[in-house]
Structures are given as structure tokens and as C-alpha cells.
Amino acid sequence: MLYWDYAAAAPPYEEVVQTLEQVMRKHFANPSSLHRAGEEADKLIKRAREVCAAALDVLPQEILFTSGATESNNLAVKGAALQYQSRGRHIVTTELEHPSVYESCLQLQKLGWEVTFVPPDSQGVIEPSRIAAAVRPDTVLVSVMHVNNEIGTVQPLREIGQLVKAVNRRTLFHVDGVQGYGKLEAPLKAWQADLYSLSAHKLRGPRGTGILYVREGVTLFPLLTGGSQEQGKRAGTENVPNIVASAKAMRMSGEQRVAFSDRIRPLKAQLENYIAGIPELVLNSREDGAPHIVHFSYPGMKGEVLARRLEELGMAVATRSACSSRQAEPSRILLSMGRDTAAALGGIRISLGDSHTQQDVSRLEQALLAAVQSLKIAEGGMK
């Protein structure tokens, strides 16, 4: 079975697995305890914070550890909204966001906040001027993802950040960076980002750890209370082994970013060119999108059906983002781009990793063609 779902969860680096095991065995003490074992665990967290900060070119005290990107996004969106509601109760985001951002905004909407959802163009790109036009004096937060987790489009964050701050300096700018870090540059200062979310298991780290950059001077209303951990912004005993292993994964993926992109982009181009030659399939991803995500639709055929047929042929692919893949509804992302329901129900996401080779891509291409042909024959027989 060839695994083509790195965007959902990437296999951890062997060095990360070894680090996780070593820290779990040797440093099991609570880092809040005053004894020596607790102090040693606390030092490991501080060092991990420094490693993550160095990877992003920010200050160690600007790094918070959470349970994953879902919590990081919830804390960024709701924590900012609740903390700064005296400034206003308006939020700007896009129709493309991950459910952890999108549904956080819907939840705030039910609680009385006004949310503007900016639509993309037909290629899944957000026009910066449309974000800027939505910002008002009472806009507390703008949240725009770096790379769309479903179709891989890259948003023009530098231009968006500049325009947002030009319209309202006090509006906070949050970036969901989960699918971008380790594949593309993440210049937080150039973006003028105030908040930035990451998930370790997308970076070949362990599940259950997220990172949230909070620019110095920004305060968040804590969603979890009951302890003073993480500078009082996120209560709960720290997961020391995961945090240390996540920092290692973040450092490694950042160091290997250029090599990863240089090797994977030609494979993506090869696959997209092949898919474009199959009449039944329609590409949704862009050539200039993230290097690791290829997305297409088989209009009129449910994505789950094609995914199951591909699995029978030894290929593990995704129908949508992992957080939505078990839902039978059409893709919210594709509908927002103007695709019809047939295309939005028939989407398939293929996400490449650093272990894939040209031979692997050729095997996937053969499986794709065989799957489409067999489904076409079966569909014709049913009519």
C-alpha cells in the first residue's frame, strides 16, 4: 500500500520517535514540580520553546504549546475575540478556512459577533483587496490560512497583512500555517502576523501537540483555566515528551524545506499533467500551489467510491481534509470556488511526502487510470 495522505498525518521521523521514547522514559516528572526531576522537565520545555522560536525567527516567550492545531486555532480566534471585544465584535475570515477556524467563527457568530466570510476566486485564491475592504474600525481579528488543506492554494499573506494593518493597525492578523510550514517560507514578520498556528504531526512529529505563536504584546483570553502553565494562556500539565519531540520535528522539517520542495515539485507537476490528460477528471489544485498537494474531481462520481477503488489497487488517498472526510456532504471549499455539486462531491486529495519517488507516482498514475476506467465501465453497465 502506497500512502498518499501526508497532509492528514505524516509518518514521524525516526529521530523524533527515538526522542519521544527517551524523554518519556527519563523525564516523566511534572514540570511544575519544585524538585530536581520537575526542574529538569521544565528545562526541556524551555529548550524546546527556544528551538521552535528559532525556527520561526521569533522570541521564545512568543511560543505556546497546545494539544494540536485545532486548539491553537480555537485559542487564536476565540481567545482574541473574547480578549479584545471592547475594541469591537467583528471578525474577517475566508470561506476556505479549516473547520477549526471556520466553526470557531460560526460559534462566535452565535454569541453575537459579526463575521465576514470573504469568498475566493475560481482558483481558490483570496484577493487581498477584498480582505482589506471587509476590515472596519471594530474589526478585532482577520484570519487567513497560508495553504488550503484541501486544494493546496497558497494565499498572498504579505499583501493581506500589509493591507489589513494599513486599514486598522489594531486588528490582529492570524495565520493558520499547518499545511505551509516545512514546505514554503513562513516569514511571520513580513506577513505582520500576530498569531500563527502549527500542528506537529503534519511536520513528521507526534500527534497531540500544537504550536501557537503569539506576538509579544498580544493577550489572549484563556480557553482552558486551572493552572498557570504556558504563561497563563493555556492551563494543563505539559506533555513534555511530545513537546520535545515536536520541537525536533519542527527544526528538521524547517531545515529540509528547500530540499523537500525541490524534490517534490517535479513529482507534483508530473502527476497533475497526467491527471489533466484523463477526460473524466478535473484538476482543482494549481501549478503554483503548495508543492505537496494535488486535488482533482471526478464529477458525477462520489469521491469515496473512487478512493475505495484506489485502495483496492494499493493506493491510500483522501477524499477531503481529514477533519471532514467522513462527511457525505459536498466540499465547502469547492462550492466556494464555484464548482457544482457533482464536482464538489467527487473530490480526491493526494498529498506527497519526502519518501515518494518518480516510480511511486507512475504506479499511482496507472492505478488512477485503471480505477477511472473500471468505474466508467461499471457506471455504463448500471445505466
Q: Show which residues are catalytic.
A: 323
Distance CA 350, CA 303 (A): 12
Distance CA 38, CA 70 (A): 28
Distance CA 263, CA 318 (A): 22
CA 143 to the chain's CA centroid? 13
The 3-state secondary structure of 238-273, one letter per residue? CCHHHHHHHHHHHHHHHHCHHHHHHHHHHHHHHHHH
Task: Dump the DSSP string for 304-333.
Answer: HHHHHHHHHTTEE-BSS-TTTTT--SPPHH
Task: Kindly list the distances between the CA atom of residue 373 and the CA atoms of 157, 234, 326, 379, in Å, as whole numbers in the listed order.
Answer: 41, 52, 25, 10
Distance CA 242, CA 41 (A): 12
H and E: helices and strands count for the chain: 13, 12
* In contact, 168 and 190? CB cutoff 8 Å: no
Nearest CA among 251, 238, 275 for reference residue 349: 275
Nearest CA among 210, 217, 219 for reference residue 81: 219
Nearest CA among 364, 369, 347 for reference residue 297: 347
Distance CA 279, CA 144 (A): 34
Task: Dump the DSSP string for 181-232.
Answer: BTTB---HHHHT-SEEEEEGGGTTS-TT-EEEEE-TT-----SS-SS-TGGG
* In contact, 346 and 371? CB cutoff 8 Å: no
Distance CA 173, CA 29 (A): 37
